Amino acid sequence: MTGHIGGLDVEKIRKDFPVLARTVGDRPLVYLDSAATSQKPQQVIDEVSDFYAHHNANAHRGLYMLGEEATELFEGARANLARFFGAPGPENIVFTRGTTESMNLVAQGWGRKFLHAGDEVLLTDMEHHSNIVPWQMTAAVTGATLRFIPLTDDGQLDLSDLGSLLTERTKILSVTGMSNALGTITPLRQLIDAAHAVGAVVAVDGAQLAPHHAIDVTALGCDFLTFSGHKMLGPTSSGGLYGTAEILDATDPMFGGGEMIHEVFHDHSTFKPVPYKFEAGTMQIAQQVGLGAAVDYLDAIGMDIVRAHEEEITGYALGRLIDAGATVFGPKDASIRGGAVSFWYKDVHPHDLATILNEEGVAIRAGHHCAQLVMRRFDTPATARASFYIYNTKEEVDVLVESLAKAEAIFI
C-alpha cells in the first residue's frame, strides 16, 4: 500500500490501530464507518487500561493517593481538551457522554431557562436528530418555535433567505459544523457573525467537525461547542461541551446528584461552580482520560495534516464512486466537505449494498444516519455511507468501488 496521503504517513498510523489487522471472514477489514465511531489507537487503549490497572478510584472524592491520581488524570484530560479546542481554560469544558448529552444539556439547561413563547430556535435541515429532538422537547415546554435553514440541491445550507430566518426573535442558532449525512462543512464564521449580530447565542454541533478539523473556539466565537470523544479516537461515552464562562455560569444543571452540589438542605441546594455543577454522580473517568490521550494523539499528527488527508481521500473517493455510476449526495468538491460520503449505487438498496460489501470485508453504514430531514429533502428513505479517517487508504477506497460490482452482479 502507498504511504503518504495529504502529508500523513498512513501506513505508520495504521500500525497504531490493532483492529485494522483483523479480517472479516477471509478478507482484511476495510473500515469505512468512522463517522459512526472511530477506531482506537493502542495509545488510547493503553491509557484506559493503565488507568484501571494502576490509578482507578473515584475522582474528586478519595482522600488518599489513588483518588488523587485519578482526579489528576481526569482533570488533566479536561486541560488537554481545553487546549485542543483553544478554550480559555479547563473550566470551559464540561464532561458529558458526548454530543447527544451535550446538546440536551444546552437545550434543557440553557433553553428551558431562557426561551419563552414567541422566541425562535434556528436549526438547519442537515442536523442530526441529536440537534433536533432536544429542541423539540424544549419547544414543547417553553412555547418557543423551531425554524430551519433549508438546503440547496447540492446539500449546502441555502442562506439566500437567512435574513428572514435569523431575526431578533432568534434566541439561539444551533448548527452542525459538518453534516454526518452529506459531509457538508457549514460556513460557521458567517453564521456565528450573523447570529451574534441579532443577539442570538450560537451552539455548534462539533460531533463530525471536531475529529477532522482544527477548531479554535475562542477565534470562532461560538457560545457552545459539543463534541463526541468516540468519533475522535477516544472511548465510547467520552466527550463534552465547551461553553464560554458567562454562558456556562448562566446555564442550569441538567442532572442533580452527588458531587455537583455545594450544600444540600431540605428545601434547596447550592451548586458547585462551573464546570462541576454539570457533573453529577460518578463520571466517565477512564473514558475521559482515554479521550485526553486521543487528543494528544491527534495533536501530535497536527489537525491540519488530519484535514489534508481527509480532503485528499474524500476527493479520491468522490471521483471513483461517481465514475463507477454511484449517485453521491452532498457537495462534490472535497474542499468544502468532509469524509462522510452518502451515495446510492445504481438501484441497489443501501441495506443490500451494505450486506454485500460486508462479504468483501468492507464496513459501511446504510440507513437514514439519524438525519431523516436530510433523507426527506433528497426524497430517499436511506443512503449508503462510506466515511474516512486518518487510517484509511486509497487502496481501501478501491476495494469499496470494486466491491460494488458484486452488488451489480446480484441485483442488476
Of 86, 47, 81, give the one whose Cα is nearest residue 289: 47
Say if strands 362-363 and 340-345 run parallel, antiparallel, or are unpaired. unpaired
Of 79, 134, 126, give the one whose Cα is nearest residue 291: 79
Q: How far is the CB of 133 from another protein (least distance, A)?
A: 11
One residue of 3, 89, 258, 381 binding another protein per CB under 8 A: 381
All residues at 6 or more sequence positions from 266 whose CB lies less than 8 Å from its CB, including other chains: none
What span, in angstroms and rounded, lies between the C-alpha atoms of 291 and 296?
A: 9
Q: Within 342-371, which residues bind another protein (CB under 8 A)?
A: 349-352, 355-356, 359, 366-368
Bond from prior residue into 275 cis (ω within 30 degrees of 0): yes
One residue of 19, 219, 405, 410 binding another protein per CB under 8 A: 410
- Is residue 402 part of the contact set for another protein (CB under 8 A)? no
What span, in angstroms and rounded, lies between the C-alpha atoms of 73 and 91?
A: 15
Grid cell, residue 33, equals 464507518
What span, in angstroms and rounded, lies between the C-alpha atoms of 109 and 255?
A: 9
Phi and psi, residue 373, nearest 5°: -65, -35
The residue among 4 and 376 lying less far from another protein, judged by its C-beta, is: 376
The residue among 48 and 407 lying less far from another protein, judged by its C-beta, is: 407
Q: How far is the CB of 31 from another protein (least distance, A)?
A: 17
- Is residue 375 part of the contact set for another protein (CB under 8 A)? yes
Q: How far is the CB of 373 from another protein (least distance, A)?
A: 12
Site string for another protein, 18-47 (x = CB under 8 A): -------x----------------------
Q: How far is the CB of 132 from another protein (least distance, A)?
A: 13
Q: How many of the chain's residues bind another protein (CB under 8 A)?
A: 17
Burial class (CB in 10 A: 0-12, 13-18, 19+), 115: buried
* Residue 6 · residue 313 · CB < 8 Å: yes
Between the CA atoms of 376, 379, 382 and 388, what dihedral angle is there, to the nearest 10 degrees? -90
The residue among 73 and 375 lying less far from another protein, judged by its C-beta, is: 375
- Note if 370 is an active site residue: yes
- Please provide the size of the chain in residues: 412
The active-site residue, picked from 370, 372, 380, 399, is: 370
- Is residue 372 part of the contact set for another protein (CB under 8 A)? yes
Grid cell, residue 167, equals 431575526
Grid cell, residue 377, equals 429533502
Q: How far is the CB of 363 from another protein (least distance, A)?
A: 12
Element (H, E) at 314: helix 303-323
The residue among 139 and 217 lying less far from another protein, judged by its C-beta, is: 139
- Is residue 327 part of the contact set for another protein (CB under 8 A)? no
Q: How far is the CB of 33 from another protein (least distance, A)?
A: 13
One residue of 148, 255, 271, 411 binding another protein per CB under 8 A: 411
Query: Which amino acid does the sequence have at 58?
Result: N
Site string for another protein, 46-85 (x = CB under 8 A): ----------------------------------------
Residues that bind another protein (CB under 8 A): 25, 349-352, 355-356, 359, 366-368, 372, 375, 381-382, 410-411
Please identify every residue annotated as catalytic.
Answer: 370
